[in-house]
Amino acid sequence: MSALFEPYTLRSLTIPNRVWMAAMCQYSAEATGPDAGAPHDWHFAHLAARATGGTGLIITEATAVSPEGRISPNDLGIWNDTQVEAFRRITRFLSAQGSVPGIQIAHAGRKASCHAPWEGGGPIAPEDGGWDVVGPSPVPFAEGHLVPAELTTEGIAEIVGQFADAARRALDAGFQVVEIHGAHGYLVHEFLSPHSNRRTDAYGGSYENRVRFALEIVDAVREVWPDDLPVFFRISATDWLEEGGWTGEDTVRLADELLAHGVDLMDVSTGGNASGVRIPLRPGYQVPFAARVKAGTRMPVAAVGLITEPEQAEKILSNGEADAVLLARELLRNPSWARRAAVELGGTTQVPQQYARAF
């Protein structure tokens, strides 16, 4: 059998194949009112199409643990029970198609309160409908961006609790995988990196202090998440800075600590915390960072980043560089990519009976 179509088991959960959908923001939820942050028909259709297309694990977009944790006013959230009920419709359908429903829980930190990409992506000031942003230090992401208020230790503890509450609601909503977003320059990543973390207290300075917030979130989530279901952690393995940033060495070191705290898989991406950096984009450009974690630790890993062809994905797994692949924009272009890959590689995917006559 193709390595891409071998089932994969973490704790008691078996994912039917290694073709997984990465979290991708849709910027399409209601911004205000009783349904703010709740998924609706667009989110259902978007996620359901990838399930009927044979994707093994489907991870929602970055889903905010609080209103202030949203990237944009139109992000999804899981801070109330209205959102939980709306998500149940989606998780029921994904599960019925044989896909595993996963959710990425997140806080955008200093990169919160921004417009959607098609509206320019720039910051929204509080007087224009945005809100005040927070971070480990009062260092804006880029020139012209909002200056974050430095979180107090009480504020840090409150956000740790929000992650735990979000995980509890995610379980109630029917999700079987919860992923903590520690990448792309959002709040957890901001604490990890010395580029954005200039604190001098117990949450800044040394590596041990900078990873404290991430480990506290993991512990809080693991405490409310069932022992028989997996927790993922998304990491930016490098800031792509020559000095003064988070590095591949840091990522390998953190992987072992996350494993000891109950994380089951590291979702390895890069970048997002430093503006204006040059990233060497090419097919599979982030795979070596996943491979480095896999070679240097016992942490299972998933690779992501310009993985577009079935043979390319198969090679990543058969070479032992990762345990699964996460597709993003390629699944926007082709919701049935998994089925195409199965045909090319000799694998199998579940086909809805309504579509069976086409195969």
Angle at 309 between CA 42 and CA 280, to 5 degrees: 90
DSSP label at residue 56: S
User: For tokens 């996350």, what's the residue?
Assistant: 258
Give me the amino acid identity at 137.
S
Q: Cα separation of 342 and 307, whole Å?
A: 16
Contact (Cβ atoms closer than 8 angstroms) between residue 282 and residue 310: no
Contacts of 102 (CB under 8 A, 6+ apart): 57, 58, 59, 60, 175, 176, 177, 178, 179, 232
Of 153, 225, 227, 238, which Cα lies nearest the Cα of 192?
A: 238
Active-site residue identified among 8, 186, 203, 207: 186
Q: Where are the beta strands (DSSP E) in the chain?
A: 8-10, 13-15, 19-21, 57-64, 100-106, 134-135, 149-150, 177-182, 231-236, 265-269, 301-304, 324-327
Closest of 176, 133, 168 to residue 151, by C-alpha: 133
Type of residue at 96: A
Hunting for tokens 């022992």 — which residue is that? 227
35: number of Cβ within 10 Å: 14
Indicate if 8 belongs to the active site: no
In sign, the C-alpha dihedral spanning 179, 185, 187, 189 is positive
Distance CA 36, CA 50 (A): 24
Structure token pair of residue 35: 């349904």
Closest CA relative to residue 310, chosen from 9, 17, 15: 17
φ, ψ (nearest 5 deg) of residue 143: -60, 130
Instruction: Give the C-alpha separation, 92 to 112, whole Å.
Output: 30
Q: How far is CA 58 from CA 97, 100, 335, 352, in A?
A: 11, 6, 11, 17
Catalytic positions are 186
